[in-house]
A and B are shown apart, each in its own frame.
Chain A
Amino acid sequence: KAGVTQTPRYLIKTRGQQVTLSCSPISGHRSVSWYQQTPGQGLQFLFEYFSETQRNKGNFPGRFSGRQFSNSRSEMNVSTLELGDSALYLCASSLDFPGIVEQYFGPGTRLTVT
């Protein structure tokens, strides 16, 4: 079974720009969660999608948004980038709620904002 894939793997953007990251879950997994990982804050939950619906959201500003398509692939968008948005963005897929079953993480997208 193919694992979770994320594109692009690396990205450099300028403050004020916007960015879209993509995640393809493991086949059959309908739940996709997004996390931001920084050295200081650890793994912070952004949001979770299931069957094209956002089921849960973390404590991030509205500049962070996402969506899920009918094939379970998911995208997250960050608008008006700030320096503090530099981080590793991880997506994870699972069969059900992430608090119930194991999650499979993708390799992440390393975003650098200059």
Chain B
Amino acid sequence: GQQVMQIPQYQHVQEGEDFTTYCNSSTTLSNIQWYKQRPGGHPVFLIQLVKSGEVKKQKRLTFQFGEAKKNSSLHITATQTTDVGTYFCAGPIQGAQKLVFGQGTRLTINP
């Protein structure tokens, strides 16, 4: 079935370093969503990308949607301890009726 793969599974960085997580789909996606889950918390919606090649920024976070709409990335510049958590990408399947989540990238930061 349709899958959304996310790498890396874990990433540990020094505070101030950059961080990137990648999301790849086996099929073309109509859109892609990103969520963040803090330790002990629940997923919180970050952003949705819809257009091919779209790039959106939220302060130090940059989200990209690939030209073929099969991959996406989240880049954090100069990480801070508040960025700790697991970042999930999610893509719709079955005509956008369902959302399938990637396995997530768990980010830990050494202050």
A42-72 contact mask (Cβ, 8 Å, vs B): 1 or 0: 1101001000000110100000000000000
Q: Assuming A100-B92, A103-B99, is B104 touching A42 (CB within 8 A)?
A: yes
Give the interface SS of chain B, mostly helix, strand, loop or mixed. Answer: strand
Q: Let me know if B97 and A103 touch, CB within 8 A.
A: no
Q: Assuming A42-B103, A43-B88, is B45 touching A102 (CB within 8 A)?
A: yes
Task: Check: B101 CB closer than 8 A to any chain A CB.
Answer: yes
Chain A residues with CB under 8 A of B30: 99
The smallest beta-carbon distance between A7 and chain B, in angstroms, is 14
Chain A residues with CB under 8 A of B42: 90, 105-108
Task: Check: B53 CB closer than 8 A to any chain A CB.
Answer: no
Q: Let me know if B45 and A103 touch, CB within 8 A.
A: yes
Q: How many residues of A contact B (CB 8 A)?
A: 23
The smallest beta-carbon distance between B102 and chain A, in angstroms, is 7
B20-39 contact mask (Cβ, 8 Å, vs A): 1 or 0: 00000000001101010000
The smallest beta-carbon distance between A53 and chain B, in angstroms, is 12
CA distance A108 to B41 in the complex (A): 8
**Closest B residue to A88 using CB positions:** B42
The smallest beta-carbon distance between A33 and chain B, in angstroms, is 7
Chain B residues within 8 Å of A, Cβ to Cβ: 30-31, 33, 35, 41-45, 48, 88, 90-104
A-B contact list, 5 entries, CB within 8 Å: A43-B101, A45-B100, A97-B92, A99-B95, A102-B48
Chain A residues within 8 Å of B, Cβ to Cβ: 33, 35, 42-43, 45, 48, 55-56, 58, 90, 92, 97-108
